[in-house]
Every structure is written in structure tokens, then in C-alpha cells.
Amino acid sequence: MTARPVVYVTREIPDAGLDPLADECEVHVHDWKLPPGHDRILRRLAELEADGLLCLLTDDVDGEVMDASPNLRVVSTFSVGYDHVDVDEAERRGIAVGHTPGVLSETTADFTWALLMTAARRTVEGNEYVLADEWETWGPKLLTGPDVHHATLGVVGLGNIGATVARRAAGFEMEVLYANTERDGAAEQRLREFGVEATYVELDELLARSDFVTLHVPLNEATEGLIGDEEFEAMPDDAVLVNTSRGPVVDTDALDRALADGSIKRAALDVTDPEPLPGDHPVTRHVPEKLVLAPHIASASIGTRDRMARMAAENMLAGLRGESLPNSAVEDRR
Ligand code: DGY
């Protein structure tokens, strides 16, 4: 009997992914709510002589990790983003890298709108106001915010998620601007079919003209710190920034300054730098009047997390069988 391939999973993922893995592999799950950390991943891969590593976006998968087990053939991440995996190093070693593109676009777009609406219409503040027993009467100026309908939405990055967010703007009859590495006529046409006329502009024009700016770029050298002091300065004073992409796309210190000096009105972040954001980080002084925070949960619907688990398992199993991965990060970044 041939030995079953050994897979190390760095956190408990939904059964939709663990069950198919267990059918074909010997599966070892890091059974703790916090990530294993770099040293423990190295140690477990070496002890198990693992053939596969199923990781999360909280794991730093570098060349050292890839060398820890002589048998490692597949790294499959339970995420769309793969900035935590050194894909160059994997390619150099002939290790396949899988990810889960497309699966969370709708769910993440829903949450982006939840944040945008929360920041605009001040629902968190309203909740706190009621609980603090400050609600004495209906007030003409009580917790007023900007209208979302008919405002201008600036989408930075018109990939799957950015386009899905833009599509939802139809219901609010908004003007939609987008900035991208290049103009995307096909995406514009798809949006047109949903009644959205998206106009391609340079980032500085988008920042200057948008009431709401929403970020949907991958994290890489070009996008790290994309929104900093200069960009906040370029935005209207009453602008709202929403980030559901990756924390380091926004310079947190610059955001802190921009909220303090009124360069922008509000921000809503699902992703932060650092992540996790400590509750006493200086930028939290702006909560809740100017800042709304969430702990990287934009994709956290039950259905989407099940589908992510299934896709991560499918990538893993294909790679272990020597087949090409249904969703390869090596291919997708080309
Ligand atoms: C991803 O998969 O990259 C997302 O950030 C998870 O929410």
C-alpha cells in the first residue's frame, strides 16, 4: 500500500475542506485559535516530512518554510491574496502554490458596502449613543452624515472585488470612477450591462473627485503605502476612505494625521497595518466619530468560508496528484 501524502494545515478550516483532504491524505491540523508562528511551522513540516502545507494569510511562507520538509510539493493558501507566500521562491523550488480567487468577491463587496454605509450614516455612533442613554429626543442635526445615493464612488483597483463593489453602486445611482494599472474596457462593458458607467481616471483625479474611495488592490511593492500624506491631502475634506484590501496599502500614521487635521472626514477599515491592530493603537482615538474598524472579516460569510476551504483542498489534492492546480498563484500573477 502506498503511503498517503501528509498535509499540515495551519488552522482549523471548515469541514468542506478538511473532509476531502482526509479522504486522500494524512492530515495534521494546528489545533489552536492563534497561528502556529514561523518556528512552529518549520518544526511541524520537518517532523511530519509533509508533502503539502495548507496555510492562511496569517502565515509567513518563505523559502525557509519551503525547505523545512524535503517532500514539500504544494502550498495551498486558504485566501485569495498570496502576499504572505514567497511565490518566486516556490517557483524556484518547483513547489506549486494554490489560492482561492473569485470566491469571495460578492461577500467582500457586500461588506465593503456595509463599511461604507456605516461610516457615512454613522450607525456605530448611533448605537453607542443609544446605549449611553444620551438619546433624549429626535434632533434636526443629530448624527447627520453625507448622502450615499448620487455621490461619487472612486474604486481603486477594478479586479474581481473592485468591479463587484462598483456593480452595487447602480442601486445608489452613483457616479463611478476607477483607477487601475490600465484601462479595462471589458470590465467597463460588464458594468455597463448592470447599468454602471465606470470612468477610468488617474489616481490623483479619482482622489480629488470622489466622495467615497474604496481600495481593492493586491499588496505588492507598487501598492504598499499607496495612500499616504499626499493622497489624503488630495482628497476632499469630507471624503470617506474604505479599505477591505490589505492593511499596508494605507499608511496608518498618515491616516491618523489626516483624520486629526481634517484632510478627510472618515475612514472604515477591515484591514489594518499592523494587523491585528492593538486596541490602544494611536489611530483608535478616532473611533467611532471618524473611524470604523473591523477585524479582517469582509469574506466571513459561512458559505464563502466553506467554498474557500473546498477550493484550498482542491488545489492541494490536484498538486499532490501531480496535476496542475485549478487556481495557481504562479499562473495568476503572470
Ligand atoms: C483573502 O482571502 O485574501 C481575504 O483577505 C480574506 O478575507
Same domain, 36 and 175: no
* Whole-number Å distance between alpha carbons of 37 and 32: 11
* Whole-number Å distance between alpha carbons of 24 and 283: 47
CA triplet 309, 315, 320: central angle to 5 degrees?
A: 125
Sheet arrangement for strand 52-55: 26-29, 6-9, 52-55, 74-77, 96-98
* CA 141–ligand 1 middle distance (angstroms): 38
109, 161 Cβ separation under 8 angstroms: yes
Same domain, 32 and 71: yes
Residue 30 CA: distances (Å) to CA of 9, 123, 148, 171: 6, 38, 44, 43
- Show the cell assigned to 120: 457615512
* Whole-number Å distance between alpha carbons of 191 and 170: 9
In a domain, 41, yes or no: yes
* CA 289–ligand 1 middle distance (angstroms): 27
Nearest to 120 by CA among 38, 303, 242: 242
pLDDT score of 333: 85
CB atoms within 10 A of CB 193: 8
Same domain, 252 and 312: no
CA–centroid distance for 171 within its chain: 24
The owner of cell 469541514 is 15
pLDDT score of 318: 98
Same domain, 289 and 308: no
In a domain, 178, yes or no: yes
Give the chain's domain count. 2
Same domain, 142 and 64: no
- Show the cell assigned to 95: 513547489
pLDDT, averaged in runs of 10, over the chain (334 residues): 90 98 98 97 98 98 98 98 98 98 97 98 98 98 98 98 98 98 98 98 98 98 98 98 98 98 98 98 98 98 98 98 98 88
- Show the cell assigned to 80: 485569495
Same domain, 55 and 201: no
For residue 298 and ligand 1, the question of a CB distance below 6 A is answered with yes
For residue 219 and ligand 1, the question of a CB distance below 6 A is answered with no
In a domain, 183, yes or no: yes
Q: Which atom of ligand 1 is nearest to the CA of 308?
A: 2
* CA 79–ligand 1 middle distance (angstroms): 5
Same domain, 181 and 273: yes
Which residues lie across from 97 on neighbouring strands? 75
Q: Which atom of ligand 1 is nearest to the CA of 78?
A: 2
Same domain, 63 and 110: no
Same domain, 275 and 324: no
Per-residue pLDDT of 5-63, as tens digits, reads 999 999 999 999 999 999 999 999 999 999 999 999 999 999 999 999 999 999 999 99
Residue 94 CA: distances (Å) to CA of 48, 73, 90: 20, 7, 6
In a domain, 182, yes or no: yes
Q: Helix 123-131 to helix 105-121 angle, to the nearest 10 degrees?
A: 60
pLDDT score of 1: 55
Same domain, 130 and 253: yes
110, 132 Cβ separation under 8 angstroms: no
CATH number reported for the structural domain that contains residue 174 in this entry? 3.40.50.720
Report the nearest-CA residue for atom 2 of ligand 1: 79
CA–centroid distance for 226 within its chain: 15
SS3 323: coil
Same domain, 241 and 129: yes
- Residues with a catalytic annotation lie at 246, 275, 296
For residue 79 and ligand 1, the question of a CB distance below 6 A is answered with yes
pLDDT score of 101: 96
- Show the cell assigned to 218: 493586491
In a domain, 264, yes or no: yes
Domain coverage including residue 76: 6-103+302-332
* Whole-number Å distance between alpha carbons of 200 and 182: 9
11, 29 Cβ separation under 8 angstroms: yes
The owner of cell 517532523 is 47
* Whole-number Å distance between alpha carbons of 235 and 242: 13
**DSSP character string of 66-77:** HHHSTT--EEEE
Same domain, 145 and 127: yes
User: HSE on the CB side for 66, CA within 13 Å?
Assistant: 21
For residue 80 and ligand 1, the question of a CB distance below 6 A is answered with yes
66, 92 Cβ separation under 8 angstroms: no
In a domain, 314, yes or no: yes
Tell me, yes or no, if the pTM score tops 0.85: yes
**DSSP character string of 191-260:** HHHTT--EEE--HHHHHHH-SEEEE----STTTTT-BSHHHHHHS-TT-EEEE-S-GGGB-HHHHHHHHH
